[in-house]
A and B are shown apart, each in its own frame.
Chain A
């Protein structure tokens, strides 16, 4: 009976979403205050019902209710409780419900956080969010009902896919969804501005914190996913340019462009229609990602099982949401007049170039992801586009972007003397070149052109970011938190670039066969294979290898990679064992038994790989600092006084 209540709650939520979508939008159009006032209660109501449905599904997992088909497919009595919770979003139906819950959560947050905004405007934003929610919930109810019952419940369930039984992956989807579903808020703000037919700087100030919050979660979600792929799936790789990864990375790239373009719109009243287009585009790429992952049109290691009916539905959803917004844009965007021009050396131009490069990178990734699909649709054969393409096309816009980033941070709004700018970045540039060339040469004894360029770029971004804090610290002045956010996020990007470059330039990877008692050398380390033992987990059995990691004869640690076989799904799983430190990771994974006591193993030495995820985390922290800046705290606060304005103008 209880699962039926869950389904009923979902249907009620659809109804409330439609009310939340239609009445306030209509009310805003005809200026009817009663209908406009419906928006907030309806939003709260739909959140409550979606949350009830979600809680009921979770309860079905926790109580092993295998009469629910979704539970039977994705859980098992022996599954540890933590993974029973994570199994709620472990497959298609539940992850859609999570999508809806996250969107409902954002909607309520907007309902609460928009109290200071003009009523009509807030109603439009909530109305747009309500329509999106209604679409996703209808999709869930019509094609992917998580509460479907089995007439004859099995005694035990089919178990969660062993790949997903992992702590990082348990929280990866919620983070990712909070991120890319959160761009729906920026989208709703953009559509509301288009409906109103006008857009002022206030609009940008309201939109900015929401966008940055979403971006922050998306950053963490992607980083977690990459970390998971590294130790669980990737045999040591951390990014594969897999279509599903690209699906979450493209909204991130465009969202980053949006954050920067919003800054220009807020400070200078420029790039208005461009910012709107980015806001529409970012959320559309999130929807596109959902479409690509759910419809099965792209083949990927991660893709959920394909179902054409779902594909058609989500394509229609993507078409109507994005299509409507773009038609509205075509009709209304010409009204968004810029409030002035700009000069060659200025913050505006720096951010314009930032946008050009980020959009270029997004377009390249989009092209590489969709091209195989296009060829297939044209009947021109099946191809796949490999990582080398993505690496190169991504690098082309990224290198100038990194170079300009260090300059752009120090430009002033409106205009600035080029010589002043150069004087400001002289020292960071010098530091970057010296550190970037000398340290790797001392540390690794070798340096290639590309790795030198990468390391210098990373150092340059870090050094340029730190210039202002150091200068201000010496003059005892304080920075607003928004500016700290920018500095920290850019610093994180620099650390990330360093991690990526050093890891890819200096990693060592060995596939070898090894017998107990033998040892292998990797870099300055020695790995001795002591032997194998059998271990038993809660829902799997495993062979565990025992490896001693030594450096200069002293024991560093003992590594224990496993080859698991899960009891229910009986598929083998490789669990790598990693010794990690700031400066390097040593990674061991067991391959197969080669007979005769020998095993194939994969050994990897990855210098500075931690900087990749640490850098991403620092970027997210920058986002957090920026969103908690005082001036966003109250949307109705009077405009900042001229004094603070100039200080923030430097931000």
Chain B
């Protein structure tokens, strides 16, 4: 009576396809930028629009690049940790203020503390596209030679820092 097996076999095929489909999910694939140099950019800074930050400024030492905006709840969530991290680790954190209201962004940093060495303003989101930004917050780990070592897609927490960032930093420092 093989016919009673037909439904379960069809279903197994379906599940196999879905499993494959899930792996295709674009956010599941590691960013194509990892291991590549950071995209070129020159953007005005938040503190002073006449001063600009470019990708060359990020070279020379290991750093973090954090994409944030005031409308983003996840950014609010990770902000306290970023302030803490900036003070403790001594690692420079660069901000990329994404599609945001500049005044609101300045107020935010005044009220909640400013963990960033410099924040660049990407008002139209063009540079964020070059970085392959999906949504805020995203945090990039950038090597001293400007290579993107790692990208984290949701709010940064102490746990994520321990698990994902520290080993990579240690590895980068060891080389």
A contacts B directly (C-beta below 8 A): yes
Q: A interface vs B, CB < 8 Å? A: 69, 72-73, 150-152, 154, 157-158, 273, 277, 280-281, 284, 291, 295-297, 306-308, 311-312, 315, 318-319, 322-323, 326-327, 329-331, 333-334, 370, 373-374, 376-377, 569
Looking at A72, A157, A319, the one whose CB has the most chain B CB atoms below 10 A away is A319
Residue pair A69, B77 in contact (C-beta under 8 Å)? yes
CB-nearest residue of chain A to B78 = A151
Contact stretch, chosen from B10-18, B142-150, B165-173:
B10-18
CB-nearest residue of chain A to B18 = A315
Q: Verify if B48 is at the interface (C-beta below 8 Å from A).
A: no
In the complex, which of the residues B5, B8, B17, B77 contacts A374, with contact meaning CB atoms closer than 8 Å? B17
A to B CB contacts below 8 Å, 23 in the list? A73-B73, A152-B79, A152-B112, A291-B18, A295-B18, A295-B25, A297-B18, A297-B21, A297-B25, A318-B15, A319-B15, A322-B11, A323-B8, A323-B11, A323-B12, A326-B8, A326-B11, A373-B21, A376-B24, A377-B17, A377-B20, A377-B21, A569-B71
7 further interface pairs, Cβ-Cβ under 8 Å (given A158-B71, A315-B18): A277-B7, A281-B7, A284-B11, A315-B22, A334-B4, A374-B17, A376-B24
Contact with A along B63-96 (1 / 0, CB 8 A): 0000000010100110111000000000000000
CB-nearest residue of chain A to B101 = A570
Which B residues are CB-close (under 8 A) to A280? 7
Residue pair B7, A151 in contact (C-beta under 8 Å)? no
In the complex, which of the residues B8, B14, B25 contacts A306, with contact meaning CB atoms closer than 8 Å? B25
CB-nearest residue of chain B to A149 = B77
CB-nearest residue of chain B to A288 = B14
Q: Verify if B129 is at the interface (C-beta below 8 Å from A).
A: no
In the complex, which of the residues B1, B12, B20, B76 contacts A334, with contact meaning CB atoms closer than 8 Å? B1
Which A residues are CB-close (under 8 A) to B12? 323
Residue pair B5, A330 in contact (C-beta under 8 Å)? yes
Number of interface residues of B (CB under 8 A): 27
Q: B interface vs A, CB < 8 Å? A: 1, 4-5, 7-8, 11-12, 14-15, 17-22, 24-25, 27-28, 71, 73, 76-77, 79-81, 112
Q: Report how far A370 CA is from B24 CA in the complex, Å.
A: 14
Q: Report how far A10 CA is from B24 CA in the complex, Å.
A: 32
With A158-B73, A297-B25, A308-B25: A315-B81 Cβ-Cβ less than 8 Å = no
Q: Report how far A306 CA is from B37 CA in the complex, Å.
A: 28
Prevailing SS type, chain A contact patch: helix
Residue pair A150, B73 in contact (C-beta under 8 Å)? yes
Residue pair B22, A152 in contact (C-beta under 8 Å)? no
Q: Report how far A315 CA is from B22 CA in the complex, Å.
A: 9
Which B residues are CB-close (under 8 A) to A370? 14, 17
Residue pair B76, A273 in contact (C-beta under 8 Å)? no
Which B residues are CB-close (under 8 A) to A374? 17
Which A residues are CB-close (under 8 A) to B80? 151-152
With A295-B22, A308-B22, A374-B17: A329-B28 Cβ-Cβ less than 8 Å = no
Residue pair B76, A330 in contact (C-beta under 8 Å)? no
Which A residues are CB-close (under 8 A) to B14? 370
In the complex, which of the residues B5, B21, B77, B79 contacts A376, with contact meaning CB atoms closer than 8 Å? B21
Q: Report how far A295 CA is from B25 CA in the complex, Å.
A: 9
Looking at B7, B14, B24, B25, the one whose CB has the most chain A CB atoms below 10 A away is B7
CB-nearest residue of chain B to A334 = B1
- Give B60 Cβ to nearest chain A Cβ, in Å: 32
Q: Report how far A380 CA is from B81 CA in the complex, Å.
A: 44
Residue pair B25, A311 in contact (C-beta under 8 Å)? yes
Which A residues are CB-close (under 8 A) to B112? 152
Q: Report how far A277 CA is from B10 CA in the complex, Å.
A: 13
With A150-B77, A152-B80, A312-B22: A330-B17 Cβ-Cβ less than 8 Å = no
Q: Report how far A331 CA is from B1 CA in the complex, Å.
A: 10
CB-nearest residue of chain A to B135 = A305
CB-nearest residue of chain A to B70 = A154
Residue pair B27, A329 in contact (C-beta under 8 Å)? no
CB-nearest residue of chain B to A152 = B80
With A152-B80, A323-B11, A334-B1: A72-B73 Cβ-Cβ less than 8 Å = yes
Residue pair A330, B8 in contact (C-beta under 8 Å)? yes
Q: Report how far A73 CA is from B74 CA in the complex, Å.
A: 9
- Give A154 Cβ to nearest chain B Cβ, in Å: 5
Q: Report how far A624 CA is from B25 CA in the complex, Å.
A: 42
Q: Report how far A150 CA is from B20 CA in the complex, Å.
A: 34
Shortest beta-carbon contacts, A-B, top 3: A326-B8, A377-B20, A308-B28
Residue pair A315, B19 in contact (C-beta under 8 Å)? yes
Q: Report how far A312 CA is from B22 CA in the complex, Å.
A: 7
Residue pair B7, A326 in contact (C-beta under 8 Å)? yes
Which B residues are CB-close (under 8 A) to A322? 11
Q: Report how far A72 CA is from B125 CA in the complex, Å.
A: 24
Residue pair A329, B21 in contact (C-beta under 8 Å)? no
Q: Report how far A312 CA is from B24 CA in the complex, Å.
A: 12
Which B residues are CB-close (under 8 A) to A330? 4-5, 7-8
Q: Report how far A327 CA is from B73 CA in the complex, Å.
A: 45
CB-nearest residue of chain A to B112 = A152
Q: Report how far A280 CA is from B27 CA in the complex, Å.
A: 32
Q: Report how far A76 CA is from B57 CA in the complex, Å.
A: 39
Q: Report how far A331 CA is from B112 CA in the complex, Å.
A: 63
- Give B161 Cβ to nearest chain A Cβ, in Å: 14
CB-nearest residue of chain B to A318 = B15
Q: Report how far A326 CA is from B15 CA in the complex, Å.
A: 13
Which A residues are CB-close (under 8 A) to B5? 330
Q: Report how far A150 CA is from B72 CA in the complex, Å.
A: 13
Q: Report how far A296 CA is from B25 CA in the complex, Å.
A: 8
Residue pair B4, A273 in contact (C-beta under 8 Å)? yes
Which B residues are CB-close (under 8 A) to A277? 7
Which B residues are CB-close (under 8 A) to A569? 71
Which A residues are CB-close (under 8 A) to B15? 315, 318-319, 323
In the complex, which of the residues A284, A311, A326, A334 contacts B22, with contact meaning CB atoms closer than 8 Å? A311
- Give B77 Cβ to nearest chain A Cβ, in Å: 5
CB-nearest residue of chain B to A296 = B25
- Give B133 Cβ to nearest chain A Cβ, in Å: 15
- Give A156 Cβ to nearest chain B Cβ, in Å: 11
Q: Report how far A150 CA is from B24 CA in the complex, Å.
A: 31
In the complex, which of the residues A308, A319, A323, A377 contacts B27, with contact meaning CB atoms closer than 8 Å? A308
Q: Report how far A307 CA is from B14 CA in the complex, Å.
A: 20
Residue pair B7, A150 in contact (C-beta under 8 Å)? no
Which A residues are CB-close (under 8 A) to B24? 297, 376-377
Q: Report how far A14 CA is from B137 CA in the complex, Å.
A: 32
Which B residues are CB-close (under 8 A) to A318? 15, 18
In the complex, which of the residues A152, A307, A331 contacts B76, with contact meaning CB atoms closer than 8 Å? A152
CB-nearest residue of chain A to B28 = A308
With A296-B25, A308-B27, A376-B24: A327-B8 Cβ-Cβ less than 8 Å = yes
With A297-B25, A326-B11: A152-B18 Cβ-Cβ less than 8 Å = no
- Give A369 Cβ to nearest chain B Cβ, in Å: 12
Q: Report how far A280 CA is from B10 CA in the complex, Å.
A: 14
Q: Report how far A74 CA is from B15 CA in the complex, Å.
A: 33
With A306-B27, A323-B8: A152-B77 Cβ-Cβ less than 8 Å = yes
Q: Report how far A273 CA is from B15 CA in the complex, Å.
A: 23
